[in-house]
A and B are shown apart, each in its own frame.
Chain A
Amino acid sequence: MNQEVVVTGLGAVTSVGIGKDEFWKNILTGKSGISEVTQFDTSKFKRHNAGEIKNFNTSDFIPENIAKFMGRASQFAIAATKSALEDSKLPIANIENEKLAVIIGTTMAEANVIDVSGRMFIKDEWDSITKQLLMNVFSPSIARNIGYFLKTKGENLLIPNACAAGNFALGYGFDLIRKGEIDFAIVGGADSLSRVAFQGFQRLYAMSPDVCSPFDKDRHGMLLGEGAGILILESLERAKQRNASIYAKVLEYGLSCDAYNMTIPSRIGIKKSMTKAIKNANISLCDIDYISAHGTGTVQNDKEESGAINEIFDDRKVAVSSIKSMLGHCMGAASALESIACCLAIKEDIVPPTINLKIPDPECDIDCVPNNARKIKVKTALNNGFAFGGNNCCVVLGKPCYS
């Protein structure tokens, strides 16, 4: 009981790079993955930009005869899982074992499949919808497809907890290992761009016409992104036994629910999940060296999040950055990718920047590591994730030696 849990593998599929090395290199140099959307026609929309992945070649990761049964989000997720497993050097015998669980978070699941079926539906072409397409509308498809592809045999869950889903998945994987129920977990999140999400976020929030500039005084709103982030979790005991290289230790996580509004964040709820995470991790406030912000770039979120951070940290200026400034908001993948960034920040003692910052906003009076990465000692990092429905999940990661 009460196993310690560590991260031993990272896999990222993003608009700034496929694979954790390219992703991290570009994140640190402040490269933006934002471009004009090409997957669907945006001419009727007022906005046209997103963090779309342009150079993803499915067949690099998945044989074509299997890939055709999967939506884009599943393909991202499998690619990220494969790179994470390679990175962790976990033997096949451990993967095809009931002591390994697959827990994946998402917001829209296979929404680009819904785009296709929706169009057919309206044009009364329902008869031409194939079985394959329908199978993919079924949202458990992402976790299931990973399980099927890798022949995993343990628990297999899809947690559609929207924009903090990656953190929720990581948290539950952590719980199951800690309890001793499993030894290994493939956790993370995935989402693909879709017309329906593009439409929805545009109607719901301010969507920026050009770039995403969190914490900037003139920020114009969020941008969507897409991708997948996968982490391999295992018990410290197992990792030591097999001499695995360890990125970070999962110290704990904290959940809260605003119970306030479906789309407007609440400072009380945000603070609750952050303080709960720190308290559960049994560390003190001064131990936190870096915060990976939810930082969507909307006026409301950034103001409330900055306020919450300042109230909790009593105006001590912790380094806070939002990699959404480069990737856009990758929905279910967002917090998983941010957890990956935290692991790498801890491993290499450097924190990524918030790009596009021109004029600091007095209402966001935090140190947002503007425009340039910064070398600082990162013993522990806090990763914020806030979702639709006021569902908040903050994860605390620390150096492997941290106890």
Chain B
Amino acid sequence: MGKRVVITGIGVVSPIGIGKNEFWKNLFAGQSGFRDITLFDTKDLKVKIAGEITNFNPKAILGEKGLLDLDRATLLLLSATKLALEDAGLKIDESNTYRTGVSVGTTFGSLHSISKFDRESLTEGPRYVNPIIFPNTVANSPASRISIKFQIKGFNSTISTGMSAALDAIDYANDFICLDKADTIVAGAVEDLSMQTFLGFYKLNYLSGLKNTSAAPLSCPFDNRRNGIIFSEGATTLILQDEEYAKKTGTVVYAEILGIGSCFDPAKFYKYNPKGYGMKKAMKKALKAAGLFPKDIDCVFANANSTKDADYIETKVIKDLFDEYAYKIHVIAVKSALGESFSVSGGFATIAALGALTKGILPPTINYKEKDKNCDLEYMPNKARNKEVSKIMINSFGPNGVCTSLIIGRYKS
């Protein structure tokens, strides 16, 4: 027991960049990743933009072979994983494969495939469906493909908890290393932009630009004008390792996982609890697991996704928990640039936080213009700032009630 877990590799495929360097550069520069959707026809829809990754060329990252039967979610995840393994300089072979595992957070990763499969069955008839695509319809298919592609044989798990899935997959991985069941874990997350997922959010009225069609969709967390999310896609992969193992291999360590807290808030049916019970509990649990007090935290990478209730409740809970100190820390919403990428959002936020830790730059909350009197913390509006930080809290709270907070810190051996 008493094992420490460190992050030694970063892979990201996002609407603002592929690979950690491009991702950080554009994030610090305040660029956003929203553009017209090209993956499907939006002619009849009121919202036509999303965080689509238009320059994604899986062959450039993964090579030409063996990609034919894979769906977009799988390709995004495999690409992020390849980048992360390369970044960590990690070679999987017979000597380490049984002590290496895969833990992936995803929720709608298979929705596109299942719809396609179902459609073929209904329109063409049961005898004409392509059996090769059925495995893609199962939620753990993107994760399983990681094992097959990179020959990782320790274990392979998928976590589907909605918005907090990326952090929950890190939590699962962290537990496995702490229990000495693995030395290395590929902790990924993925969500792809498909018509089915997009229409789901559309019908549920989550998207910005639906209520007031005269204004263009806008992702502006904490801003008074916020009116919904911009949906986006992407994949993230972190290489988590047992600290002692990482030391032995001499790999570069980006940060240490200090604590994770997760809980469930059953108060409302598919709505955030206005009292923020779950959010507060998750943050408290993470602090407790890390053995830290609120004043030890330098900044918070917020869950805030530009919806009225989520941003307000999170602000309120931070004030509650951090007390007078709440006004002194930076609360940053990277979803202003990246949108709400659901299961992968916690992954984007964690990689953004890793950028802040290693580069000494805090990324901005962009599109911030009009102050909401109920959201009055220091949100780092519009401009990045140079600042050394050592402990960062990352929040992921879903309207389905699952709340998870992660604390990472600068690594000292």
B203 within 8 A of A: yes
Determine whether the beta carbon of A178 is less than 8 Å from that of B148.
no
Determine whether the beta carbon of B264 is less than 8 Å from that of A389.
no
A156 within 8 A of B: yes
Residues of A within 8 A of B101 (CB): 255, 257
A98 within 8 A of B: yes
Determine whether the beta carbon of A118 is less than 8 Å from that of B119.
yes
Determine whether the beta carbon of A1 is less than 8 Å from that of B141.
no
Determine whether the beta carbon of B122 is less than 8 Å from that of A118.
yes
Question: How many chain-B residues does the 8 Å CB contact rule pick out?
Answer: 72
Residues of A within 8 A of B154 (CB): 255-257
Q: Mark B124-167, 1 if CB is under 8 A from A, else 0.
A: 01110101001101111101110110111111111111100000
B1 within 8 A of A: yes
Determine whether the beta carbon of A134 is less than 8 Å from that of B200.
yes
Q: Name the distance in Å between B324's Cβ and chain A's nearest Cβ.
A: 27
A160 to B143 CA separation, bound complex (whole angstroms): 11
Q: Name the distance in Å between B242's Cβ and chain A's nearest Cβ.
A: 15
Residues of A within 8 A of B125 (CB): 44
Determine whether the beta carbon of A162 is less than 8 Å from that of B138.
yes
- From the candidates B204, B266, B400, name the one contacting A131 in the complex (CB within 8 A): B204
B380 within 8 A of A: no
Residues of A within 8 A of B265 (CB): 153
Determine whether the beta carbon of A256 is less than 8 Å from that of B107.
no
Residues of B within 8 A of A102 (CB): 264
Q: Which of A74-82, A193-201, A283-291 contacts B (4 or more CB under 8 A)?
A: A193-201
Residues of B within 8 A of A269 (CB): 153
A210 within 8 A of B: no
Q: Which of B257-293 contact A (CB under 8 A)?
A: 262-266, 269-270, 278, 281, 285
A172 to B178 CA separation, bound complex (whole angstroms): 13
B117 within 8 A of A: yes
Q: Which of A216-275 contact B (CB under 8 A)?
A: 255-263, 269, 272
18 contacts between A and B (CB under 8 A): A2-B1, A115-B118, A135-B204, A139-B160, A140-B162, A155-B262, A155-B263, A156-B264, A157-B159, A159-B158, A199-B117, A200-B131, A203-B134, A257-B101, A259-B153, A260-B148, A269-B153, A388-B138
Chain A residue with the shortest CB-CB distance to B149: A259
Determine whether the beta carbon of A157 is less than 8 Å from that of B168.
yes
Chain B residue with the shortest CB-CB distance to A102: B264
Q: Which of B165-197 contact A (CB under 8 A)?
A: 168, 172, 175-176, 178-179, 181, 196
A140 to B154 CA separation, bound complex (whole angstroms): 25
Residues of A within 8 A of B123 (CB): 122
Chain A residue with the shortest CB-CB distance to B130: A203
Residues of B within 8 A of A151 (CB): 266
Determine whether the beta carbon of B155 is less than 8 Å from that of A175.
no
Determine whether the beta carbon of B199 is less than 8 Å from that of A126.
yes
B356 within 8 A of A: no
A258 to B97 CA separation, bound complex (whole angstroms): 11
Determine whether the beta carbon of A258 is less than 8 Å from that of B263.
no
Q: Which of A86-94, A106-114, A296-304, A349-357 contacts B (4 or more CB under 8 A)?
A: A106-114
Instruction: List 8 tightest A-B contacts by C-beta distance, closest first.
Output: A389-B144, A255-B155, A160-B139, A156-B264, A118-B118, A262-B135, A200-B134, A203-B131
A119 to B115 CA separation, bound complex (whole angstroms): 10
Residues of B within 8 A of A261 (CB): 148
Determine whether the beta carbon of A144 is less than 8 Å from that of B200.
no
- From the candidates B156, B262, B266, name the one contacting A389 in the complex (CB within 8 A): B156
Q: A107-B138, A115-B118, A262-B135 are in contact. Are A175 and B179 (CB under 8 A)?
A: yes
Determine whether the beta carbon of A204 is less than 8 Å from that of B148.
no
Q: Name the distance in Å between B273's Cβ and chain A's nearest Cβ.
A: 11
Determine whether the beta carbon of A161 is less than 8 Å from that of B157.
yes
A176 to B179 CA separation, bound complex (whole angstroms): 10
A119 to B123 CA separation, bound complex (whole angstroms): 10
Residues of B within 8 A of A147 (CB): 264, 266, 401
A207 to B97 CA separation, bound complex (whole angstroms): 34
Determine whether the beta carbon of B157 is less than 8 Å from that of A168.
yes
Determine whether the beta carbon of A259 is less than 8 Å from that of B152.
yes
Determine whether the beta carbon of B161 is less than 8 Å from that of A203.
no
Q: A131-B204, A138-B400, A257-B102 are in contact. Are A155 and B264 (CB under 8 A)?
A: yes
Q: Name the distance in Å between A158's Cβ and chain B's nearest Cβ.
A: 5
Determine whether the beta carbon of A158 is less than 8 Å from that of B121.
no
Determine whether the beta carbon of A140 is less than 8 Å from that of B144.
no
Determine whether the beta carbon of B139 is less than 8 Å from that of A258.
no
Q: Name the distance in Å between A139's Cβ and chain B's nearest Cβ.
A: 5
Chain B residue with the shortest CB-CB distance to A280: B181
Q: Name the distance in Å between B156's Cβ and chain A's nearest Cβ.
A: 4
B393 within 8 A of A: no
Chain A residue with the shortest CB-CB distance to B136: A262
B76 within 8 A of A: no
Residues of A within 8 A of B331 (CB): none
Determine whether the beta carbon of A140 is less than 8 Å from that of B107.
yes
Determine whether the beta carbon of B151 is less than 8 Å from that of A259.
yes
Q: Name the distance in Å between B135's Cβ and chain A's nearest Cβ.
A: 4
Chain A residue with the shortest CB-CB distance to B162: A140
Determine whether the beta carbon of A259 is less than 8 Å from that of B264.
no
Chain A residue with the shortest CB-CB distance to B201: A134
Determine whether the beta carbon of B175 is less than 8 Å from that of A176.
yes
Q: A114-B118, A138-B107, A387-B140 are in contact. Are A199 and B129 (CB under 8 A)?
A: yes
Determine whether the beta carbon of A196 is less than 8 Å from that of B114.
yes
Determine whether the beta carbon of B98 is less than 8 Å from that of A272.
yes
Q: A138-B400, A140-B400, A162-B138 are in contact. Are A148 and B269 (CB under 8 A)?
A: yes
Q: Name the distance in Å between B329's Cβ and chain A's nearest Cβ.
A: 25
Chain B residue with the shortest CB-CB distance to A107: B138
Determine whether the beta carbon of B264 is less than 8 Å from that of A153.
yes
Determine whether the beta carbon of A152 is less than 8 Å from that of B115.
no
Determine whether the beta carbon of B160 is less than 8 Å from that of A257.
no
Q: A158-B159, A172-B172, A389-B148 are in contact. Are A204 and B140 (CB under 8 A)?
A: no
A202 within 8 A of B: yes
Q: A44-B126, A137-B111 are in contact. Are A148 and B140 (CB under 8 A)?
A: no
Residues of A within 8 A of B203 (CB): 129, 131, 134
Q: Which of A159-184 contact B (CB under 8 A)?
A: 159-162, 168, 172, 175-176, 178-179, 181
Chain A residue with the shortest CB-CB distance to B121: A199
Residues of B within 8 A of A111 (CB): 114
Determine whether the beta carbon of B155 is less than 8 Å from that of A391.
yes
Residues of B within 8 A of A152 (CB): 264, 266
A390 within 8 A of B: yes
Residues of A within 8 A of B153 (CB): 256-259, 269, 272
Determine whether the beta carbon of B143 is less than 8 Å from that of A140.
no
Residues of A within 8 A of B161 (CB): 140, 143, 156-158
B402 within 8 A of A: yes
A313 within 8 A of B: no
Q: A157-B168, A257-B154, A259-B153 are in contact. Are A388 and B199 (CB under 8 A)?
A: no
Residues of A within 8 A of B157 (CB): 159, 161, 168, 391
